[in-house]
Amino acid sequence: MKRILTALALAACLPVAAQKYRGGVVDKTVATVGGETILISDIEEEVKQRRAGGLTSDRDIRCEILEAMMESKIFLMQARIDSLTVNTDAVESNLSQRIDWFRTQLGGDEEVEKYFGKPLYKLRQEWKKMLEEQSLTEQERYQVAGKIPEVTPYDVKQYMDTTAKEDLPVVPQKFQLSQICIYPDREAAAVAVKEKLLSLRERIMNGEKFSTLARIYSEDPGSARRGGELGMASKSIFWPVFSDAAMALRPGSVSQIVETPDGFHIIEVLEKKGDMFNARHILLKPQYTADDREKAFKRLDSLRTKISEGEITFEMAARFFSEDLPTRTNGGQMADPSTGSSYFDIDQMKPADYAAVKDLKEGEISAPVESLDNEGYLQGRSGNLVYKIIRVDKIIPAHTATFERDYTQILEQVELSKKMEAVDAFMNEKIKDTYIVIDPLFKECEFARDAWNKKK
């Protein structure tokens, strides 16, 4: 996913102290799984990567890493027996993303090499090997899980009959909804924000400091505090149009207006190094007025009245007047963008939408509400401002799952449970039959899978 400029500031990285093993920090094999070995350095490398990403654990992190690595070796050995092949395209893509992420987090190639204590070409080789093994491991895990027999209605019924009622899943309240949407005048708002940015750019060209104006005006809170500075980062983590504009600039020069899904920017490049750059930016987003809201609400109120009085159906009004294309073609019916389902759990609804419908009965239509659309949902963005009325088509109250009403949900749960059982059975059997040695350095570890504890 491309970096969202308005939401992120690069995380600070704390150097990790070397693990103090009894007898010093001498690299050695700490586990042998079949023909595969795990070194102290492998574990310490993973510790550094996790800490650079801000990941923590409520268990001993090195014990947790060792167990995960040993399980991966079991799958890896079986993948080789099964003659599985590496997905090279996925490996290359993941490798590039990994390198770019660390370069951005740590501030460039030199800082990455300093943090890991290795030249970048060596890290690239090691990470590529790790990702190739990971590709085989994931394929084998999927293959093991996929060997379960097809789950049948009989399996689901048996699960329901043998599971205590209090242990059955509780299905939360669900809503089926339709909407009619009107957008504010985006073109006028875009013109206004461009004029403001042009004015700021002119002030910069006339001698005012970019950093000062960024602190005052930029709507990217993460960088505004730093005078708009983003830090040295790979161009791949930004929106392409932003990166292209920045890479085309000479250090010290200021761009024309650049539009991204986050809004409108002007950019000042501070430094370029290969495909990395450090830049300042000022981000402004289109702003909408009370007049925009009032006009939209009046129009929606009028439609709501006509629907209530039977002059037009909700579906027909949606097809003719709604400005949200995905729902307009379906007569206004909404779908959860994450699942495609026409039913929404409460926690899947936008807060404004839920507030508008939570007290309504089936068939009732909300008053006009200001909310957000789903544009940019897959990129993790919150969406664009939109005004809407919402009809409650159906309400399914919260309830304990039943075979008749929630078959699909229970089927998925039974299938997942059987897949996990298949993986567990495979793993326990392989651990029992595989030559495994775990170094006494890790004898105090309490592994999550008891089969490993028996090997210590």
pTM, whole model, 2 decimals? 0.69
Q: What is the pLDDT of residues 61-116, one digit of tens each?
A: 999 999 999 999 999 999 999 999 999 999 999 999 999 988 888 888 889 999 88
For residue 238, give Cα distances in angstroms to 10, 126, 269.
12, 26, 14
| Residue 18 pLDDT exceeds 70 | no
Percent of the chain with pLDDT over 70: 93
pLDDT at residue number 378: 58
Q: How confident is the model at residue 19 (pLDDT cuts 50, 70, 90)?
A: very low
Residues 192-210 pLDDT 10s: 999 999 999 999 999 999 9
Residues 347 and 391 reside in one and the same domain: yes
Indicate whether 39 and 110 sit together in one domain: yes
Report the mean per-residue pLDDT for the chain: 89
Domain CATH code at residue 264: 3.10.50.40
Burial of 74-95, coded b for 16+ CB within 10 Å and e otherwise, reads bbbbbbeeeebebbeeebeebb
Q: At what angle do helices 61-81 and 40-52 cross, to 10 degrees?
A: 110
Q: What is the predicted pLDDT for the residue at 375?
A: 80
160-202 per-position pLDDT tens digit: 999 998 888 888 899 999 999 999 998 899 999 999 999 999 9
The answer on 257 and 226 residing in a single domain is yes
Among the three residues 249, 284, 319, which one is the final residue of a domain in this structure? 284
Same domain as 145, residue 44: yes
List, as one string, the DSSP characters of 407-425.
HHHHHHHHHHHHHHHHHHH
What pLDDT sits at residue 348? 85
Query: Which DSSP category does 283 fall into?
Result: E
Are 383 and 444 contained in the same domain? no
Residues 181 and 314 in one domain: yes
Of 9-23, 221-235, 303-317, 390-404, which range is least confident? Answer: 9-23
Q: pLDDT class for 25, splitting at 50, 70, 90?
A: low
- Residue 9 pLDDT exceeds 80: no
Looking at per-residue pLDDT, the higher value among 10 and 207 belongs to 207
pLDDT number for residue 379: 63
Q: Quick check: is 13 in a domain?
A: no
Mean pLDDT over residues 307-314, rounded? 96
In a domain, 143, yes or no: yes
State the average pLDDT over residues 342-369.
93
State which residues form the domain around 271: 187-284
Q: 292 with 381, same domain?
A: yes
Q: Is the pLDDT of residue 219 over 90?
A: yes
The CATH number covering residue 448 comes to: 1.10.4030
181 and 297 assigned to the same domain? yes
**pLDDT above 60: residue 13:** no
Report yes or no on 102 lying in a domain.
yes
Confirm whether 408 is domain-assigned: no
**Domain tally, the chain:** 3
Residues 180, 327 share a domain: yes
Q: Which residue has the higher pLDDT, 382 or 349?
A: 349
Residue 328 has pLDDT above 80, yes or no: yes
Q: What average pLDDT does range 279-298 have in this prediction?
A: 94
If asked whether residues 310 and 234 sit together in one domain, one would say no
Is residue 52 very low, low, confident or very high in pLDDT (cuts 50, 70, 90)?
confident
- C-beta of residue 456 within 8 angstroms of C-beta of residue 438: yes
Q: Which residue has the higher pLDDT, 16 or 287?
A: 287
Where a domain ends, among 241, 269, 284?
A: 284
**pLDDT value at position 14?**
29
Nearest of 370, 391, 374, 392 to residue 383 by alpha carbon? 374
- Give strand pairing partners of 176: 343, 394
Please indicate, yes or no, whether residues 245 and 357 belong to a single structural domain of this protein.
no
pLDDT (0 to 100) of residue 68: 94
| CA end-to-end distance (rounded Å), the chain | 42
- Which distant-in-sequence residues (6+ apart) come within 8 Å of 115 by Cβ? 13, 15, 48, 52, 102, 106
In a domain, 105, yes or no: yes
Strand order through the sheet with 258-260: 233-234, 276-284, 263-273, 258-260
Of 256, 284, 312, at which residue does a domain stop?
284
pLDDT at 319 > cutoff 80: yes
Q: Is residue 412 part of a domain?
A: no
**Is residue 42 domain-shared with residue 97, that is, in the same domain?**
yes
**Is there a domain that residue 449 lies in?**
yes
Q: What pLDDT sits at residue 106? A: 86
In a domain, 12, yes or no: no
